Each structure stands twice: as structure tokens, then as C-alpha cells.
Amino acid sequence: MEAATTLGRERAIYNDYVREWKDKGGKVVGYACVATPVELIEAAGLLPYRIKALGNPDTELADGEMSLFNCSFCRACLQLGLDGTYDFLDGLVETNGCDHIRAMFENWQHQKDPDCFYYLKVPHFFRDDSLAYFTEELENLKKVLEGNFSIQVTDEALEEAMRGWEEVRAKWRELSALRELDEPKVSGSEAVALEVRGSSMRSEDFSRMLSRFMEERVDAAGTRPAARLMVCGPATDEVEWFEEIEGMGAVIVADALCFGARAFAQEPVEEGTPLQRLAESYLSSILCPRMYKEYARRRDLILETARRARVDGVIYLYNKFCDLHGVDSVLVRRDLEEAGIPVLVLEKEYSAKADIGRVKTRVQAFMERIGGGA
Amino acid sequence: MDKGFVMREGENGFERAINILEMIYKLPDNLSEEDVEAARDFVFPELQNTVIGLLELPADRELELFFFRLLLGIFKEAQRAQEEGKKLVFIPFTFPPEIFYSFDNIFPLCTEIVGGLITNICYGQGERFWDFAMGLGLPDSLCSANTIGTMPLFMGPGIRPDAIVYNSAGSCNPNAKIHAFASDYLGIPQFILEKPVDESARGRELHFEYLKRFIKEIEEWCGEELKEERLREVMERSYQAVELYNEYWELKKGRPCPVPNIFSMTLLVLRSQCWGRQEAVDVMQKMVDMSKERLRKGEYTAAEELARVYITYIYWFFDFAGYFTWMEKEGITILGDILAIHYFPEMDFSSKESMLRNVSDIVFDYPMTRQMGGESISLRWLDDIAYAAQDLGADACIFGGVHACKHTLGTAAFFRREMMKRLGLPTLMLTGDVFDKRHTPMEMFQEEVKTFVDQVVARKRAPRKRKKVQ
């Protein structure tokens, strides 16, 4: 399965797509969390760019601001913010995803003082009152984008962007079905690579990329894996990490990752203004442990996905110091094991190449446990 | 030697701690030096540090004996609560207990106070509880204060709450997450009051709406309506303590500071567990009276007040003697920490609605919630500590926390730089764990602080020698 290579793995933060967009006079707005409605940014005629680190192992500038007890993914992203790699961004949207990400954004703001900055405050539960507040937040974000970039975000433009991203999500579901086949035609690392690349594209281009990719794959022969795995966890864009796991004979046939299925969880909402529908669609589908009183929902979704994809086991991974996923992992492991699904919890450092040997040993042992060992 | 931790039937950390604390009733009211020495020699090493920390200095002795006797009474009430038909709720130390004291059917017990109690009274401190958490698979980057406090619930037997309450989602995720985990794992209800990270009028209004909804959920759950009269009664007592808190704050400004260091810990426990009850008023009154008397007499434990430090986050809690008493003997005054900075609005007692609105503001601006749940952690934290440090005349700051404090640790470099720019105050950054001595032993803490005070603070205070112009 060479599709990610066919399409070209993302190697640069300031990639050709973004460069071309900027060359044409386009503006780019960075965001970090999947709770950010990219439709709004796109409807403003801007390019939404999900902040990533592409496996960048360096953190020396960020370490001067954040501590070593902070998530290494956030430090890796901050590093790129501070060293100028992200200077092409014309605006930043912060979200209160977790304690680490807030610290990352605050330091970024103090050091770089971006012209356009908005703190999108996302409630920690989904209810009528929190939804009303989040809708107002989107209204405020819209005004900030309009004011900063001298544009009007019309309802029509928003509807169009919402249709565009709904199409992306529909294609993602098709892609997921190809992963879940008895002989998967798409690997987990390819799916993550596609999301990593697509999360700095406008919807029509992302959609086109997914279509092209699937056209190549739909009639191709699949691979019978030594083990069918599901991977759950936070934001990690380390495609190589997933490749290493799949290089051991397993295929990641499903996931609940932030740079994966969780980024495409939004369901369309029928009633209300475009902004109200967008707010509800997002706030009701944040499948992240940063949401409270929703553990049962997250667990059920993981269970349902695991059963549908007929997985042999689940790997729950998280970056060191991620309390949100670290705590949830205990409950997920308990409940999935009770349901007869073996679970391996892996705590790791972001982009720590030295870590991969340890990880592979543990995955190998896990695969032997679930009957997929080489 | 583990005589301090031999559990008896039905006991866990909380029960063991309060059974050991029972000996406080046997001590005479007016303790002599010999009594303190005997009490110290009677107990195991870790409890010795608690005994010394509370009782060694004559200035602390009377107050702490008085306070801990009252506190023990409250803990026993918590133990009896369920037998008496009340519901027991665990609350974090970022939540005002007076809301729950306003219900006849509910008794609140603060998770971190339970954690602190175990740490300071039980043999082996909180280590076995922390290790149990690691055995469950919980990450080692959690907050020891509330992890130690909640683990007895998982280990059993002993006290078990009927519900868990928290309000730290988004302002301190380790805190919120361990409370949510306890609820999910144990299958007991959880009640959450979110503080929006929005300091505008819109954010405060939303928080007020959230509070009303929260109270409605609590009412439905416990089958009791929050009564206006009862709320007023509790809030009036709460505000008697607030008046005394304001006096306490003013007394802290005295030079040398007449308020003993250990009173900082006492204030924290009072606010987290006792506020809204008569005990809080009585202890605060005694703290104020004693401090006034010391001010009048010009009493100070050391020969000279060498440094006045503001703790930028939280105190060290695993060794009262090594921290509070040692600093006091060294002439280092602890002026406060983030948990000592309270914002109490002027209370409008005219109606239930008006009181709840004020309660909403109290929760919104509750220490830690206000700063870590602020629109900007770094700026709100800096502003508030800078205000307190300046108002109380600090010479320097010391950072202390646990490795779970990702919000502060993630912005501490900015804080330190800006504190120096803004007020010229140096900040000593100490990593470690204020509840677990295995990270940074007290000897190491003392060495760092001593060096900092000698090398940085004392030099800063000394008049600069100017070169003579030729």
C-alpha cells in the first residue's frame, strides 16, 4: 500500500499547497483543535490550517517557555511557532482544548503577537445553555475574521463551506470502509497521512485528494493483516509512528484519533441558522476526553467501531503528561477488556525516535497476545 | 515501623488519620515545651514533623490545638453524615463548601483536605495511595493532592461519597479529570459547574446560569430545595469569616509580619472545608486576635525578618515543620500563595437570587479557578500574584506546585520574567511535588530556599554600594 507515497507525504509545514495559496494573495488562519469549525474560516475566503509539527523533534525554544512536564507535541508546535516556521500564518484561533494547548497558545501570543488572534471558548459539555454560548462564540469569531480580513461571511458562503466539509466527511467514511474490509485496501498510516495533508487544504481540494486516492485503491487487491488493530488517542501527526506499527504485520483498520476519525465526527444538523447548525454539529461531536460527563458516549463509540471493524485489539496511545487521555485510558482499558477486546495502553513522547524500539517491543508482545504475532 | 498505618476493620486512610488525630483531645489546653516534646517522641517520624510544625512554636500552639480539635469534629460529622441520612459529597478545594452547608441533607468533604490529612498524619504519608493509583494505570503526571485524596475510595473500605462535585474542567484538567474518573469508575453521580474562560459580563452571566442549573440538579438529586433562610444564615456566617479574612490580610502587612507562617495553611483548610460554619469564624477570630497581639508586642520568631516571600502557586504540604516552621525560624515570612487570594464581592443578602449571584461571583473568582480558568492564564496569574506580592510587601517569590500543574508550568517562564520587569521581584522556581517527598525532599527544598534568600534576596535588600566619583 503505497498511496501515501503516491500522493506525496507531507514533509513541510509551509507546503506547496499553502505556498501556492499565499502566492495568489490568499490568507491563512491557523488552529489546533478539531473543535474549531473550519467551515467558518473557509467561508471567510481563508485557508484553515491545522497546526502540526510533522514529527519535529526539536523543542529548545519552546522549552524556554513551557516546562518539560508539558506535552511534547504542544512544545514541538510552539517551537515551530517561535522559530518562524509558522510566520506565514495570518491569524490564529486558540481553543481551550487542554492545559497544554492553552499554555502553547499563550506563549505563542506573547512572543509573536499575531495581528489576528481569537480565543474560541469551547464549553466542556454539550447542553442547550452551553450550545447557545458556543453559537455566540462562533458569531464573535466570524466578526473577528470579517474585521481583520475586511470580508463579509455571508450565509450562502457558510452554507457552501458546510456542504464542502460534509462532502469531505462522507468521503472519509468511504475511506474508513476500505480500511475495515477483511483485506483492507487502505492502511491506518495512510489515513493519518491523508488527514495530516488535508488539514491544511480547503474542502474542495481535500475532497478531490480523497477521491483520487480512493480511485487508485478501490479495485486494487487488499492485504490480509497479521492483526487488525484499532488505535485511539490524542493529536499526533507522526505518520512514521503508525507505519512502524503496521510494518510489523498489523493493519490499523480503525481509529479514534484526533488526526483521524475524531476530526470527521460531525453530523449535519437540519434546523437553525447556518451558524447555529454549525455550532451544534461541532459541540455535539467533540469525542475528546476534554469533554466531561461524556465518557460513556466515547466508550460506546470506540466499542461500536471496534466491533464493526472486527479488531483483534486496541492500542490506546497518548503523549506523556496528557492527563485527559491518560485518565480515560484506564476506563477504556477496563471496559473494552470486559467486552472481550484486548487493550494495550502506550504512553509515549512525541517524535522520540529513541522510543520506537520500546514501543515496537510492546506492540510485538501485544500482537502475540492477540494471536497476530509473527 | 508501620504502627501508624495498621488499618483496623472498616478503616482506610481517612479513618486512620482521624483516629490518630483523636489523641489531640488528650493533650492539655496549655501545652508546655515538655508536653510538645513528649507528644513528638510518642509518634512516628512523619507525624513528628506535623506535631512540631503545629505545636513547636509558642505562637502557633494554642491556635493549632484549638483549630485541629474543631476540624476533627467536622471530620467526624462527615463520617456520621450518611448514618444520619445525609448525602456525602466530595468537592475539590476550588469549590466553596458553603453552598453545600446550605443544604440540610448534604455534607461536603474536600478531596484535597482528605489528601492533606492522610499525608500529614498517616505513616508513609500518601505514598501508598499514590502507588495504588499508579497500579490502577493512572498516569504519574496527575495531581498528588487529589489523587491521594480520592484513592481510598477505590481501595475501600472506609468513607465513600454519594456524589462527586467539581468545577475545574478547563481550568485544571488533572483536578477535574480525577474527580470525573472517580465518579465514572465507582458509578456514582457527578455534578459539574463549569467556569467559562470568559471574563466578560457574558461569561459571568453564563456562569450564573450554570450555577442555578447546578443547584437545581443538586436539589433534585438530594430531594431538598435550597432554602433562602438557610442560605442567608450560612452566607452571613461566611461573611463574618470574610471580615476577619480582610483583617488577617491587613495584619500580614506588618513588619516583621505578626502572622505566623503556619496560619497560611490554617486559612487554606478553613476556606476549603469549614467556611460557612461557626468553626471558621472562631478560628479566624483567634488567628486575628493572636496576630494583633504579636503586632502590638512586636513579636517575631526569628531575630530578624530576612525575607518576605510570596508563594506564586501553592505551599509545600508534606512537612509542616520543614516548611512553615523552618522558614519562620530562618526569618523567612510566607505571605501567602495563590489560594490565599480571595475575591469576595459585597454580599447582597436581600433575596435568594441576589445571594446566588454573589455566590456565582465567589466561585468564578475562586483562587486558582480565577487564574487558571482565566481568559489568559499567564496574565491573570501574574496580575493577581503581583497585586498580592506588592500589597503585602514581598521581597521575592517562590514557585511550588506539582508536576500536574501544566497550566502554570507552561507559563511560568513568562511569569518569572514579567514579575521581575513589573515589580523587580525575583522568583525561585522549584519543581517537585508538594504532597510527595519522594520528588524533592525537604532538605533539598530548604537548601534551595536558603541559598536563594542569602544570595538573591539579602543582596537585593542591602543598600547598594556606589563607587565614589573621583
Residue A262 has pLDDT above 60, yes or no: yes
Band of the pLDDT at B459, cuts 50, 70, 90?
A: confident
Residue A3 pLDDT more than 50? no
Distance from CA of A159 to the nearest CA of B (A): 28
In A180-309, where does DSSP find H-type helix? 188-198, 203-218, 239-246, 274-283, 295-308
Mean predicted confidence (pLDDT) in B71-92: 96
Predicted confidence band at B11 (pLDDT cuts at 50, 70, 90)? confident
From the list A102, A133, A296, the residue facing B407 with the nearest CB is A102
B429: β partners: B399
**Where are any strands of DSSP class E within B101-206?**
106-110, 163-166, 190-192
In angstroms, the separation between the Cα of residue B348 and the nearest Cα of chain A is: 26
Q: Which of A9-23, A98-112, B194-208, B374-388 has the lowest mean pLDDT?
A: A9-23
On whether both B97 and B238 belong to a single domain, the answer is no
The whole-number pLDDT of residue A299 equals: 97
Q: Compare CB distances from A110 to B169, B184, B414 and report the shortest one's residue.
A: B414
Average pLDDT on A281-301 reads 96
Domains and CATH numbers, chain A: 8-155 (3.40.50.11890)
pLDDT band at B461 (very low <50, low <70, confident <90, very high): confident
Q: Mutation target for A interface from B132, B142, B167, B173: give the one with most A CBs within 10 A.
A: B173
CB contact under 8 A, B141 and A323: yes
Residue B368 within a domain: yes
From B191, B224, B257, give the residue that closes a domain.
B224
Q: Residue A90 in contact with residue A115, Cβ under 8 Å? A: yes
Q: What is the mean pLDDT of residues A200-207?
A: 98
CATH number, domain of B239, equals: 3.40.50.11900
Q: Tell whether the model's pLDDT for residue B312 goes beyond 70.
A: yes
The predicted structure's pLDDT at residue A369: 93
On whether residue B46 sits in a domain, the answer given is yes
Chain B residues whose CB is inside 8 A of the A333 CB are 137
Computed over every residue of chain B, the mean pLDDT equals 94
Q: Which pLDDT score is estimated for A347? A: 94
| Contact by Cβ (8 Å): B95, B167 | yes
* pLDDT tens-digit readout, B285-308: 999 999 999 999 999 999 999 999
Number of domains in chain B: 2
- Across the interface, whether the CB atoms of B181 and A345 are under 8 A apart is answered no
What is the mean predicted confidence (pLDDT) over A222-249? 93
CB–CB contact B431 A69 (8 Å) = yes
Query: Are B269 and B293 within one domain?
Result: yes
Minimal C-alpha gap between A329 and chain B (Å): 8
Q: Write the pLDDT tens digit of every residue in B17-41.
A: 999 999 888 888 889 999 999 989 9
- In this structure, are B351 and B445 located in the same domain? yes
pLDDT of residue B468: 67
> Of B197, B224, B251, which residue sits at a domain end?
B224
The enclosing domain of B163 has a CATH number of: 3.40.50.11890
- Arithmetic mean of pLDDT, A151-172: 98
Clarify whether residues B438 and B372 are in a common domain. yes
Q: Does B205 touch chain A (CB under 8 A)?
A: no
For residue B7, what pLDDT is reported?
Answer: 73
Is residue A249 within 8 Å of A39, Cβ to Cβ? no
- CB burial readout B142-178, b (16+ within 10 A) else e: bbbbbbbbbbbbbbeebbebbbbbbbbbbbbbbbbbb
Residues from chain A that touch B411, judged by Cβ atoms under 8 A, are 65-66, 103, 106-107
Answer whether residue B302 is part of any domain.
yes
B251 touches A at CB < 8 Å: no
Domain assignment of residue B133, yes or no: yes
Nearest-by-Cβ selection for B410 from A66, A330, A347: A66
Strands A313-319 and A343-348: parallel
Comparing CB atoms, the residue among A121, A290, A331 nearest residue B197 is A121
Question: ipTM of the predicted structure?
Answer: 0.93
Is residue A11 over pLDDT 90? Answer: no
In this model, does residue A96 exceed pLDDT 80?
yes
Do B307 and B287 share a domain, yes or no?
yes
Q: In terms of CA atoms, which chain A residue is nearest residue B432?
A: A69
User: B254 and B137 in one domain?
Assistant: no
Structural domain of residue B269, as residue ranges?
A: 229-460
**Which among A96, A67, A53 has a CA at the least distance from the CA of A320?**
A67
Clarify whether residues B345 and B425 are in a common domain. Answer: yes
- Closest chain B residue to the Cα of A103, Cα to Cα: B410
Whether A221 shows a pLDDT value over 50: the answer reads: yes
Query: What pLDDT was estimated at residue B405?
Result: 92
The answer to whether residue B311 is domain-embedded is yes
Residue A213 has pLDDT above 50, yes or no: yes
Could you please report the per-residue DSSP string of A56-92?
----HHHHTTS-TTS-HHHHHHHHHHHTTTTTT-SEE
Taking the Cβ of residue B419 and every Cβ of chain A, the question of whether any pair is shorter than 8 Å is answered with no
What would the pLDDT profile of A357-372 be if each residue is shown by its tens digit? 999 999 999 999 998 7
The pLDDT score that the predictor gives to residue A259 is: 95
Share of chain A above pLDDT 90, in %: 92
Q: Write the pLDDT tens digit of every residue in B327-382.
A: 999 999 999 999 999 999 999 999 999 999 999 999 999 999 999 999 999 999 99
pLDDT value of residue B464: 66
The pTM assigned to this predicted structure is 0.95
- Residue B9 pLDDT level (bands cut at 50, 70, 90): confident
- pLDDT value for B199: 95
Q: Which of B224, B257, B277 is the last residue of a domain?
A: B224
Residue B469 belongs to some domain of the structure: no
- Chain A neighbors of B172, CB-CB under 8 A: 99
Does B367 map to a domain? yes
Residue B1's pLDDT band (cuts 50, 70, 90):
very low
Say what the pLDDT of residue B465 is.
66
Q: Which residue has the higher pLDDT, B163 or B401?
A: B163
Average per-residue pLDDT for chain A: 94
Nearest alpha-carbon partner for A265 in A304, A213, A321:
A304
- pLDDT value of residue B156: 82
Same domain? B160 vs B47: yes
For B407, the closest of A99, A133, A324 (CB atoms) is A99
Position of cell 497558545? A105
Q: How much is the pLDDT for B262?
A: 97
Residue B45: the pLDDT is 84
Co-location of B234 and B212 in the same domain: no
3-state secondary structure of A227: strand
B355 shares its domain with B443:
yes
> B164 with B112, same domain?
yes
Q: Is residue B468 part of a domain?
A: no
Among chain A residues, CA nearest to B198: A121
In this structure, are B426 and B326 located in the same domain? Answer: yes
Each residue of A263-288: pLDDT tens digit?
Answer: 999 999 999 999 999 999 999 999 99
Is there a contact between A329 and B137 if contact means CB atoms under 8 Å apart?
yes
Report the interhelical angle of A188-198 vs A239-246 (nearest 10°): 170
Residue pLDDT, tens place only, B269-279: 999 999 999 99
Mutation choice for B interface testing from A82, A299, A322, A327 by most B CBs within 10 A: A327
